[in-house]
A and B are shown apart, each in its own frame.
Chain A
């Protein structure tokens, strides 16, 4: 029997902002941008949530719902730093830690009883240690499965702990709305509702054959989930089983749809530069470069190219994404969003090159120096000129940066 902790930071982005500006405490706070800005809410404080504000809601809607809210821009670097501190604390409690996003983690705590005491006592120590290192509150769910631990931490919020004793998983889930079960989204919820299934208990009572008939393989997974088992996709894997990222990407929505090719290319260059920076941070090389383009009608395309050999150099990522853009995006198309992704990541660069060695070596050295300068003076301290026009405010997103994360 495993003991799994799910540690979820309470109103993470807002709480981090409070560390820098204590006056925000207790007030309705919205992180993400100005109220008149295009874009969505990254996070809302508990006081703002009372007004119906939630993340992923357009900023303008949030301003309407809660006019007195304090709107603050996101600070991705702060969140990354705090996320790193949390990870550090968690790593002291278990070697098996998996950051599921920037503000939540699964920990395999099996076999820590002699060292840390029974689960609730260990959770208490963990909670306090996180608070001490960051000044932030977190909620902790404990169970024999990851799925139930996650639901438990959600139920324990804010600033609480909940231990679902082994054997009581199904009983704990039964009264909860099916939507509370991780992996059940809008579409599945609607389908289940149509069948008269409203709670996890309703779902667990159905036999596999019935679910199989209606949902195929997914139905069997659903039934297992409703009983509190780890099933389906990512839940099938062990905590920390694969800590390397599968891809690294950055994307941005323009504040105004644009057909300015130079601006779009410059933005792609900036995104590619950010991807390159993170590749080097993770000591990874990529073999595929993919760009993502969305126009004003939300028509979205992705186009990828496989490189002759792995790279982690910005200039190559920039050249490839520009080439893809020029080949695949028609002139004068109004563009809403662009993104750059590096996939097929490998740990080594493998075959060395005979021909471009001197140039490549110079770039490697130069970018290494650039990285060290950024480490000391911040991400915006040094940029490639090609991406200058494409500079934008980095959006707050929930992907873990610089930490072992879940694969996409």
Chain B
């Protein structure tokens, strides 16, 4: 195989592939990228068996063929090359000669024989605006569980309906749900899939490089999910397991509601959180007599308090919260005002953007017992 490709194109595609390549794999071939040159283009493939990415860029194919090269070393080297044409020639013995101007490098590759095949993408089920999907991910990804437990999974639930897209994440302590209107005529009834967190991170990367009008074509087979954006296809293994019944968790009604300025609340929480226990990050939220009071103390370090004026004349309420859970939401949400719904120190609290930013965005947080 031999092809000539623009350095910037090659570096960009390799960089995307690098996100998928497992850093600490025991299967040697998985630390390589698969290169295939044919029909005027170069296809770069990377996979960790859970997630795969396939992307293409234009190339002058001198001799069609394929081969694999160590992903990280190849990328690190290509990045350092000047902005010029790069010639890559993979020989029978799997060694690659990389030439760019007066730079010449030989890099040991491996046969493509043992490289896993990625499944082919079936016909697209829906075309979702890329920026919309990116927005849904940004509003929910932070609430994904760090590890899988009896109750949670390391990914988000994607729900497609003919007229909406919904994404839900939870770690068992809090739940983020966002629903956006969308026209998805290809969806019949209801389509649900569990998207791994790693796939979501790669999607965010792909979306950030796309234009405002770009659409992501989505489809799924029995075991995989496929996202196509332009010349790139991301393939993820569907997570197995059951996503918790999130509709049961969403509170039906709330006793009290406050309206707060997002930036003001976020600043106050961040300051008070400096004096919260490092592990539990617990702060107290007291609401009484038209005031919301945030308080934290560390026995030997100090304490901190913030008072925000609110409209509230109900019974005094004292709730403990993990400060990080609150600020995660305040960072992800847009708009200037948010609504805080609550009942007491034992029940779930809920945060929502006021007016909803055109989305149905709900964030439910359980308190801490303090």
Contacts and interface: CB of A to CB of B under 8 A. Distances in A.
A348 B277 CA distance: 14
A223 B261 CA distance: 66
Interface in B338-362: 346, 348
Interface in B138-162: 147, 149-152
A349 interface: yes
Contacts of A355: 151-152, 170, 172, 244, 249
B280 interface: yes
Given A308-B147, A308-B149, A353 B370 contact: no
Interface residues of chain B: helix, strand, loop or mixed (majority): loop
A355 B364 CA distance: 11
B172 A354 contact: yes
A297 interface: no
A356 interface: yes
Contacts of A213: none
Interface residues of chain A: helix, strand, loop or mixed (majority): loop
Contacts of A118: none
Contacts of A356: 150-151, 172
A354 B364 contact: yes
Nearest to A346: B280
> Which interface class (under 10, 10 to 19, 20 to 34, 35 or more) fits B?
20 to 34
Given A352-B346, A355-B152, A308 B370 contact: no
A352 B365 CA distance: 9
A350 interface: yes
Contact of A352 (B244, B249, B369): B369
Contact of A349 (B149, B249, B322, B369): B369
B60 interface: no
A351 B366 contact: yes
Contact of B174 (A308, A348, A350, A354): A354
Contacts of B280: 350-351
A350 B249 CA distance: 19
Contacts of A354: 170, 172-175, 249, 348, 364-366
Interface of A: 308, 348-356
Interface of B: 147, 149-152, 170, 172-175, 244, 249, 280, 282, 322, 346, 348, 364-370
Given A350-B282, A350-B370, A356-B172, 16 more contacts: A308-B172, A348-B369, A348-B370, A351-B173, A351-B280, A351-B366, A352-B173, A352-B346, A353-B151, A354-B170, A354-B172, A354-B173, A354-B175, A354-B249, A354-B364, A355-B170
The list of the 9 closest CB pairs from A to B, nearest first, reads: A352-B366, A354-B366, A355-B151, A355-B172, A351-B368, A355-B244, A351-B173, A350-B368, A308-B149
